[in-house]
């Protein structure tokens, strides 16, 4: 299960230390930290602790939220992204996932322009720190206030505009992009341009009762995860498959049992025998 990585938000009730200990015991190969995991802690020590437990630090979530209606607030966002880059560097995380942001009522193309400018402003610091930035296109239901980047194509356009194939790329999350009729081609194109940086998995429940916190475990919903995984692998991606599930429903249950369900679902999805 080398390619299984778990986002700490998936087991939100657990402390940073509990996540490290329990993911390692469950046989995961990687961990993606969320920034709240670093609060009151030394990021370098957290990274060391994870690696000593046999976990690769896959990425840090999240930077972004660049657009704002005032220059002052856009500056605040840049400052926060610079802090995020420092944290990722200290943690030993090679990648920051960007949830790019949007402002309700502000035209989406204006927000995308501010996102492009924001990424351009912090890219030199990311390069100097050796930390890559991965734009995560978000499902269009979040276009009002979470991200004006809603498709792989839009994310690729921003990457094209800014160059830097080494340091700027895309985090592809099945929850956000599974519906896209261009998905197969865009995954291939992203990989071909050397910028498919991350792959996130979970499922889409019907009905979805909460826009943010009702994601499903793989197999609970309608996303053709195996098919999308095959496209991702066929494009040459060999990185982690990151389980990222926001779910009030699962957070309210015993987290050890929840983690067991995650590993079972992962094994079933990728046909990995028990013990392997
Ligand atoms: Zn994601």
pLDDT digit string, tens, across residues 166-197: 899 999 999 999 999 999 999 999 999 999 99
* C-alpha of residue 66 to centroid of ligand 1, in Å: 18
* C-alpha of residue 275 to centroid of ligand 1, in Å: 28
47-51 contacts at long range (C-beta below 8 A, 24 or more positions apart): 47/90, 47/91, 47/92, 47/93, 48/92, 49/17, 49/20, 50/20, 51/92
Position 27 confidence tier, pLDDT thresholds 50, 70, 90: very high
Segment 112-161, tens digit of pLDDT: 999 999 999 999 999 999 999 999 999 999 999 999 999 999 999 999 99
Taking a C-beta distance cutoff of 8 angstroms, is the pair 64, 88 a contact?
no
Q: Which domains does the chain have, with CATH numbers?
A: 4-270 (3.20.20.150)
For residue 46, what is the enclosing H or E element?
A: helix 43-52
* C-alpha of residue 33 to centroid of ligand 1, in Å: 12
* C-alpha of residue 174 to centroid of ligand 1, in Å: 8
Position 213 confidence tier, pLDDT thresholds 50, 70, 90: very high
* C-alpha of residue 121 to centroid of ligand 1, in Å: 23
* C-alpha of residue 68 to centroid of ligand 1, in Å: 22
* C-alpha of residue 200 to centroid of ligand 1, in Å: 5
What pTM, to 2 d.p., does this model score? 0.97
* C-alpha of residue 62 to centroid of ligand 1, in Å: 10
Structure letter (DSSP) for residue 143: T
Taking a C-beta distance cutoff of 8 angstroms, is the pair 210, 192 a contact?
no
* C-alpha of residue 136 to centroid of ligand 1, in Å: 7
Torsion of CA 173, 18, 55, 46, to 10 degrees: 100
* C-alpha of residue 134 to centroid of ligand 1, in Å: 10
* C-alpha of residue 232 to centroid of ligand 1, in Å: 15
* C-alpha of residue 173 to centroid of ligand 1, in Å: 5
CA atoms within 13 A on the CB side of 187: 22
Helix axes 183-192, 152-162, angle to 10 degrees: 20
* C-alpha of residue 187 to centroid of ligand 1, in Å: 15
CA atoms within 13 A on the CB side of 64: 30
Structure letter (DSSP) for residue 272: P
* C-alpha of residue 47 to centroid of ligand 1, in Å: 20
* C-alpha of residue 150 to centroid of ligand 1, in Å: 13
Segment 247-265, tens digit of pLDDT: 999 999 999 999 999 999 9
């Amino acid at each position: 299960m080398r390619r299984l990585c778990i986002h700490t938000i998936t087991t939100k009730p657990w402390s940073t230390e509990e996540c490290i200990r329990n993911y390692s015991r469950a046989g995961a190969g990687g961990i993606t930290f969320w920034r709240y995991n670093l609060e009151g802690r030394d990021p370098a020590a957290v990274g060391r602790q994870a690696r000593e437990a046999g976990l690769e630090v896959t990425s840090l979530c999240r930077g972004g939220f660049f657009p704002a209606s005032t220059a002052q607030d856009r500056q605040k966002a840049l400052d926060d992204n610079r802090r995020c880059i420092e944290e990722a560097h200290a943690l030993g995380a090679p990648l920051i996932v960007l949830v790019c942001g949007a402002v309700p009522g502000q035209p989406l193309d204006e927000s995308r322009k501010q996102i492009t400018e924001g990424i351009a402003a912090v890219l030199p610091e990311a390069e100097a720190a050796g930390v890559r930035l991965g734009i995560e296109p978000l499902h269009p239901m979040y276009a009002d206030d979470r991200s004006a980047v809603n498709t792989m194509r839009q994310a690729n356009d921003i990457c094209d505009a800014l160059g830097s194939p080494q340091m700027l790329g895309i985090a592809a999350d099945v929850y956000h992009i599974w519906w896209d009729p261009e998905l197969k081609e865009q995954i291939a194109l992203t990989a071909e341009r050397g910028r498919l940086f991350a792959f996130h998995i979970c499922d889409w429940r019907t009905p979805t009762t909460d826009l943010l916190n009702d994601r499903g475990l793989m197999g609970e919903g309608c996303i053709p995860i195996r098919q999308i995984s095959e496209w991702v692998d066929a494009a040459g991606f060999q990185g982690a498959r990151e389980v990222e599930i926001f779910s009030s429903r699962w957070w309210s249950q015993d987290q050890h049992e929840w983690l067991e369900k995650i590993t079972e679902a992962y094994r079933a999805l990728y046909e990995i025998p028990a013990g392997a």
